[in-house]
Amino acid sequence: MDVLTLGRGDVERLLDRDALVDALADAFAALSDGRVDAPPRSQVTAPAGLLLAMPAHRPGGPIAVKLVSVFEGNAEHGLPSHLAIVALFDERTGAPIALLDGTSITAARTAGAAALSVRLVARPDSRVLAIIGAGVEARAHLAALPRVLAIEEIRIASLYPDEAVALAADDPRARAVESIEEAVRGADIVALCTSSPSPVIEASWIGRGTHVTSVGYRPPAGELPPALATSAHLFVETRRAFEPPPVGCGELAGLDPAAGTELGEVVLGRRSGRRDATEITAYKAMGNAVEDLAAAALVYQRALADGAGLTIQL
């Protein structure tokens, strides 16, 4: 069997970030409409970290399976905390057809989903963005979120000031600030991109009309304050986000799933997004395999058209 392999450079070059946000909107609509088979993710635990398995299929396209490891101590080895591969299989025969770098796909699709939430829910006149964190996901958010709104000012805060300064150098609108509170107060959009096991902001720092996105995954708790999860108008990829980890998010476990609106429901017009200019909204990501499927399918189709990647025989 011939299997197309696509490394990090291939994925980053071939993945159209604007097309990705549109593809994610379509994927979330299909997910909320029951047209996606994406069973709950499973977890294997090792002494130093964990490995998650995330399969998904949407009729008319390939089957995708992502394997993603979360090893928070990887900085000691010069590696990201999250590493992944995505395998694609032909839906007619089950034959493997592609193997892609999943680390770059994970970063891009996670930021792309946050950008979609901004496009759907944030105030259209939002101009000030705060990014909390300065790692891989923060970098992906810096590239993704300003694509959907006319952002004029970007504040970056991190526990590692040098990394915040380095990230801010990537965008002329961005600057590193000394504290997380300084970054958050007065911001229109607050993007949490950390691996913190506890809340990194206080709900009292969030002003009226602000949209907060949170993509960190560090069970049993996480970066989003419980007070914000319960008081904000809450948006999720799927209500499975309210299940205990590894299926859902630690910050939402135990809350009423009816409190969450799926992004796909907003895309389909079945539930409202932002209700007025003053309410605080929040998007809490759990990470769903349909996002990996959407991103990997875009890369795969572009690779076939461009003749990119390396074909190997299994």
Comparing 2-105+290-313 with 123-286, is the CATH topology the same?
A: no
Mean pLDDT across 55-71: 97
Give the per-residue pLDDT at 89: 98
SS3 170: coil
What is the DSSP-derived secondary structure letter of residue 162? H
Task: Label the pairing between strands 42-46 and 49-57.
Answer: antiparallel
Q: How confident is the model at residue 75 (pLDDT cuts 50, 70, 90)?
A: confident
Q: What is the mean pLDDT of residues 13-22?
A: 98
Mean pLDDT score, 1-14: 97
Structure tokens at 209: 């009309």
Please give the model's pTM, rounded to 2 decimal places. 0.95
pLDDT digits (tens, 9 = 90+) for 235-287: 999 999 999 999 999 999 999 999 999 999 999 999 999 999 999 999 999 99
Whether the CB-CB separation of 33 and 49 falls below 8 Å is answered with no
Strand (E) or helix (H) holding 268: helix 263-268
Res 165 pLDDT > 90: yes
Is 180 strand, coil or helix? helix
**CATH topology for the 123-286 domain:** Rossmann fold (3.40.50)
Confidence of residue 33 (pLDDT cuts 50, 70, 90): very high
Nearest to 263 by CA among 75, 121, 61: 121
CATH of domain 2-105+290-313: 3.30.1780.10
Residue range 285-295: mean pLDDT, rounded: 97
Burial annotation 289-312 (CB, 10 A radius, 16+ → b, else e): bbbbbbbbbbbbebbeeeebbeee
Q: Which residues of 219-256 are buried (b: 16+ CB within 10 A; e: fewer)?
A: bebbbbbeebbeebbbbbbbbbbbbebbbbbbbbbebe
Q: Structure tokens of 255?
A: 């809350």
Cβ atoms of 152 and 160 closer than 8 Å: no
Query: What does the pLDDT look like over 129-157, one tens digit per residue?
Result: 999 999 999 999 999 999 999 999 999 99
Average pLDDT over residues 149-178: 97
Which residue ranges make up each domain of the chain? Answer: 2-105+290-313, 123-286
Average pLDDT over residues 190-194: 98
